[in-house]
Structure 1
Amino acid sequence: MYGMESGPQRRGTARKAILSATLKLIAESGVDSVTHRRVAQAAGVSLGSTTHHFSGRRELLRESFQQYLLWGNRMIRVLAGAVQERKEHPVDQVRAILVALVEREFANPELVRAEYELLLYATRDPELAQMVTDWEANLVGPLAAVLREAGAPRPSECAHTLVNFLRGFEMERLIKPALGRDEFVRRLTPLLGALCRTGNPIQRQAERLC
């Protein structure tokens, strides 16, 4: 029985290593750098292992990006849940979610590069493009819910604006590594203030906090 369990476990470990190595190669050298041979070397597995788990390069790329999206969805749920438990003002919750996301990505810029390669590749793969759309909805949804509490007049559009702002800052930081948390918060604060102006009591509190 133990022997039967150890086989799938080893295969599962090899598969994860292959997917992680693929994302690392993508982040370092782009999608065009991915070959079965290079992935096998980076993952520390045999070439036969990569071709056993993935029949072709397209399948390898797609599943690697899918793995990234699944990881991102889990991280978003954890961060949003942790922030909401703190019972802060909605505007502070939005700020905290975005700051937590950007700090995670500061710690691993390779993931940011992989994400942008993912977006480019998805323009040529309709199925993956739909997965990216669903992934973005998982981020926009929690932000929109909190923005609605803050009194934002069009919370979904405001949430999309904040996600685009986050992406733009990440891209700028790839070429300006000195940009940090303080600069992100400095730019985010007036944007949040503008998005939360609704002309009601919640607005006045939001503007004061922003």
Structure 2
Amino acid sequence: MRSREPKQDRSRVTRQRLLEATIDCLASQGWDATTVTAAAQRAGVSRGAAQHHFPAREDLITAALEHMFDARMAEIRAEGTRLPEGPGRTEAVVARVVDYFTGDLFKAALQVWTAAAADPSLRERIVPLEARFGRSVHQVAIEMLGADDRDPTTRRLVQATLDMARGLGLADVLTDDSTRRENIVAQWAKTLDDALPATS
């Protein structure tokens, strides 16, 4: 068993490099350019090794999205433990949520959503994944805000926050929208502070 560990470790490292390279390729080159071969080249591994892990492009891309989403959610949860308490916390939370929707993972996912809109078999894979992503981001936002998700107003406000963040992410795809985005984040945080029901 012990003699297999180095091979298993190499396999794990190869897989992770492929997943990260796939996200990079999707975000920078787009759907059409993101093939198993392209991801393998970017990851510095052989095409055969890539196909051993992921026989089809759709397998690679959905695995990459899932892996990177889970990693990003873990990072955001960890960051949540370092957010300020009291004044400024809501703005910090909104900024974290918006950062998620303006990062490479969102840009990569956007490429896949666009392709899935015209490909029924890909859409079957992506719709459940996107639903899970949406639920997870919503839950993380609730946790960081310290809000009560049983309250209907809270649920709607958090969903509005996610919808706004997604829109800001779309606006950032073609041009740097950071200055306008900062102003919107600050204003929306004030709106949330005024509108969110107080927790007991």
TM-score by length of 2: 0.79
Q: Secondary structure of 1:8's partner?
A: helix
Distance 2:11 2:147 in 1: 46
How much does 1:43 deviate?
1.2
- RMSD between aligned residues: 2.9
2:107 to 89, 110, 113: 113
Secondary structure, aligned partner of 2:32: helix
List alignment gaps of at least 5 residues for structure 2.
none
Q: 2:128 aligns with which of 123, 126, 130?
A: 130
CA contact (8 A) 2:153 2:196 kept: no
Q: How far apart are 1:78 and its partner, in Å?
A: 1.7
Q: Conserved in 1, the CA contact under 8 Å of 2:90 and 2:192? A: no
Within a 5 Å distance, the mapping from 1:135-174 to structure 2 comes to: 135-144=133-142, 146=145, 148=147, 154-174=153-173
How many residue pairs end up in the alignment?
A: 191
Find 1:95's aligned residue among 85, 91, 94. 91
What is the alpha-carbon distance in structure 2 between the residues aligned to residue 12 and residue 72 of structure 1?
Answer: 19
Structure 1: give runs of 5+ residues left out of the alignment: 203-210
Report the Cα offset of residue 103 of structure 1.
4.9
Q: TM-score, normalised by structure 1?
A: 0.76
Measure, in 2, the Cα distance between the counterparts of 1:119 and 1:76.
23
Tell me how far 1:40 sits from its aligned partner.
Answer: 1.8
The alignment-based identity, stated in percent, is 18
Of the two structures, which has the highest relative contact order with CA contacts closer than 8 Å and spacing of 6 or more?
A: 2
How do 1:190-205 residues align onto structure 2 when only pairs under 5 Å count?
Answer: 190-197=187-194
> Higher helix fraction: Structure 1 or Structure 2?
1
